[in-house]
Structure 1
Amino acid sequence: MSYLETTAKFYAEVAETPQVGLCCVQSSPMQLPGLKVPKEMQDMNYGCGTTVHPAELTGNPTVLYVGVGGGLEALQFAYFTRRPGGTMAIEPVASMREAAMRNLKIAAQENAWFDVSFVEIREGDAFNLPVADASVDVVAQNCLFNIFEPEDLTKALQEVYRVLKPGGRLLMSDPIATRSIPEHLQKDQRLRAMCLSGALTYDEYIERIIGVGFGQVEIRAKRPYRLLDKQTYQLENDLLLESLDSVSFKVAVPPDGACVFTGKTAIYTGTQDYFDDNNGHILQRGIPAAVCDKTAKNLSGSNPDQILITDSTWHYVGGGCC
């Protein structure tokens, strides 16, 4: 049985018998005015962090959610789209599609603004999204792509890139590993299905995103997710997994490399009123300016005595320069 077949079997099981404690179900879902999340959805919140970022959901977008789960984030996206088919959810596991639809019907009873037609659930998978080229504004996935083998991850990202409109956004939340996961854990298909053994390191994960053509990546949050202890998992040392929320934009990769924002700022500390690097970056003295990691490195390397670069906050919501 392949790891994808094992994953499908595993999620068919948890669709029928929700496993409280799997992934991040102990966290409270995002609170939005007038939105009530049914308990059934919360019990099936098999995600990691969140992909629902209101700043990316203005302008009446069309949203494609890959892997419907219990329907929680599909409901949250529908809160912003509020029209028939405004949110589409793709799910290969029949029992999960059925469970999500049951939960959405409960949500319609508990939320006067919501109609089940606002979420269209389609059969399909991440490697063959059943939507046209350049047809959606936002694609989202939560704790799914980390399950894939690296080459399958690239295929899934390429498929996302295909269906996004120019300038469209990929909203993701996945576990990442603070160091490479040992091979014996990577080969454990059930652990992979449980989002515990397929995670890449941060650098590997970002490289895959950029490699398919996303020219700008913004890190919205990075937080501890799970600890693989050395006793249980036969490791020399404990291994920490982190949850990474990101937004990737379908824009061209600049000639000097993609822009990755992790919350760094550049501060001019010289004696003039401002600093101009003659490359599009003007810094006012003493005032932090959000910059991507590439620009931070360039500014620090060329002007180490006049430019202070602050550490990554791993929280960024736009407005900087690259």
Structure 2
Amino acid sequence: MTYLETAAQFYSQVAQTPEVGLCCVQSTPLQLPGLKIPQPMQEMNYGCGTTVLGELANQPTVLYVGVGGGLEALQFAYFSRRAGAVIAVDPVAEMRQAATRNLEIAAKENPWFDPSFVDIRAGDAFNLPVDDASVDVVAQNCLFNIFEPEDLTRALQEAYRVLKSGGRLQMSDPIATRPIPPHLQQDERLRAMCLSGALTYEEYIQRIIKAGFGQVEIRTRRPYRLLDCQTYNLSEPLLLESLDSVSFKVPIPEDGACIFTGKTAIYAGSEPFFDDGAGHILQRGLPAAVCDKTAAKLAAYMPDEIIITDSTWHYDGGGCC
């Protein structure tokens, strides 16, 4: 049995018998006026963070990969209240059936919601059942991390294919603070449980960029799970973190992709402002959000007059690019 078959079998089981707390979600569902989340959806909230952001506008078409219990599909539908606005794809029949039931309950508890807003389809992350450049947002929560590295690349490339120019890939995945040992990577059930397939932050981001995304924004990065020595046969504990990110389908600049991790640049010189001639103007004493690439260039250019602050691992717009 392959790791994907093991994962399908595992999620078939938890679709039929919900396992509360399976993924140890580190953030509460986005609270929105007039939105009531049915209890069965909360019990099947198999994610490590959130992909639904309050900045959604203009009723975007959303492709949600791995429907789960339907919670985030419902949240996305809150912003796009029209038939078929949210396309939810899942290869597991039992999970699709559970999400359908949960969305019918949601319709009874939320007068604004109609089940037609969410179109649930059979499919997987490697063969998304939509046309090229046809959706505004692709989202996935705690799914891509179960893929082996080359399959992750395939999934990212497929997400890139279906996004419109300027579209967004919104993801939440565990990452590892150091490479996960082979004996855990090869444990198919642990991989299905989102405990052994995580990449390091550096490798995860590089695979996003290699898929073609020119801008990546880190929205949150926080502790997720600790793999202890005794249970997982480790010489020292291994911390997993939860990473929420937004990647944009924009061209990669000649000098490399823009990655925002919450760094700022502060000009401390004698002039009222500093202009680097490349589109970055810093007012004296005022922090300006910059991508990591720009931060490194500014720090090297004027190390005595420009202060670069550390990554906060939170960024929500207003930066240099």
* TM-score, normalised by the number of residues in structure 1: 0.99
Offset, 1:276: 1.0
Q: Which residue of 1 aligns with 2:120?
A: 121
* Shift in alpha-carbon separation, 1:178–1:282, aligned structure 2, 3 A: same
Offset, 1:25: 4.7
Q: Which residue of 1 aligns with 2:42?
A: 42
Offset, 1:156: 0.3
Helix, strand or coil for the counterpart of 1:170? strand
Is the CA contact 2:27–2:50 (under 8 Å) kept in the aligned structure 1? no
Is the CA contact 1:216–1:251 (under 8 Å) kept in the aligned structure 2? yes
Amino acid of the structure 2 residue aligned with 1:169: R
Is the CA contact 1:25–1:42 (under 8 Å) kept in the aligned structure 2? no
Q: Deviations over 1:224-269 (max 9, x none)?
A: 1000011110111100000000000000000000000000000000
For 1:160-199, list aligned pairs within 5 A.
160-199=159-198
Q: Which residue of 2 aligns with 1:3?
A: 3
Q: Which residue of 2 aligns with 1:14?
A: 14
For 1:57-76, list aligned pairs within 5 A.
57-76=56-75
Give me the CA root mean square deviation.
Answer: 0.8
Q: 2:24, 2:121 → 1: CA distance?
A: 25
Q: Deviations over 1:112-170 (max 9, x none)?
A: 00000000000000000000000000000000000000000000000000000000000
Q: Which residue of 1 aligns with 2:91?
A: 92
Q: 1:189, 1:267 → 2: CA distance?
A: 47
Amino acid of the structure 2 residue aligned with 1:34: G
Helix, strand or coil for the counterpart of 2:139? strand
Amino acid of the structure 2 residue aligned with 1:241: L
Is the CA contact 2:229–2:237 (under 8 Å) kept in the aligned structure 1? yes
* Shift in alpha-carbon separation, 1:26–1:110, aligned structure 2, 3 A: farther
Of stretches 20-29 and 74-83 in structure 1, the one that deviates more from structure 2 is: 20-29
* Shift in alpha-carbon separation, 1:26–1:207, aligned structure 2, 3 A: closer
Q: 1:320, 1:24 → 2: CA distance?
A: 32
Which 5+ residue runs of structure 2 have no aligned equivalent? Answer: none
Matched residue count: 321
Offset, 1:26: 7.3
Offset, 1:54: 1.7
Amino acid of the structure 2 residue aligned with 1:128: N
Amino acid of the structure 2 residue aligned with 1:304: P
Offset, 1:27: 4.8
* Shift in alpha-carbon separation, 1:144–1:177, aligned structure 2, 3 A: same
* Shift in alpha-carbon separation, 1:26–1:40, aligned structure 2, 3 A: farther
* Shift in alpha-carbon separation, 1:34–1:54, aligned structure 2, 3 A: same
Helix, strand or coil for the counterpart of 1:54? coil
Q: 1:122, 1:90 → 2: CA distance?
A: 5
Q: 1:221, 1:249 → 2: CA distance?
A: 16
Offset, 1:21: 1.7
Is the CA contact 1:25–1:43 (under 8 Å) kept in the aligned structure 2? no
Is structure 2 residue 308 aligned with structure 1 residue 309? yes
Q: Which runs of 4+ in 1 moved over 6 A?
A: none
Q: 1:28, 1:296 → 2: CA distance?
A: 32
Q: Which residue of 1 aligns with 2:239?
A: 240
Q: Which residue of 1 aligns with 2:250?
A: 251
Amino acid of the structure 1 residue aligned with 2:277: N
Q: 1:250, 1:84 → 2: CA distance?
A: 25
Q: Which residue of 1 aligns with 2:283?
A: 284
Q: 2:229, 2:299 → 1: CA distance?
A: 39
Q: 2:236, 2:74 → 1: CA distance?
A: 40
Q: Deviations over 1:68-120 (max 9, x none)?
A: 00000000000000100000100000000000000000000000000000000
Offset, 1:28: 2.9
Helix, strand or coil for the counterpart of 2:79? helix
* TM-score, normalised by the number of residues in structure 2: 0.99
Q: 2:25, 2:318 → 1: CA distance?
A: 32
Offset, 1:48: 1.0
* Shift in alpha-carbon separation, 1:17–1:265, aligned structure 2, 3 A: same
Q: 2:165, 2:10 → 1: CA distance?
A: 35
Q: 2:267, 2:95 → 1: CA distance?
A: 53
Q: 1:254, 1:113 → 2: CA distance?
A: 42
Offset, 1:29: 1.6
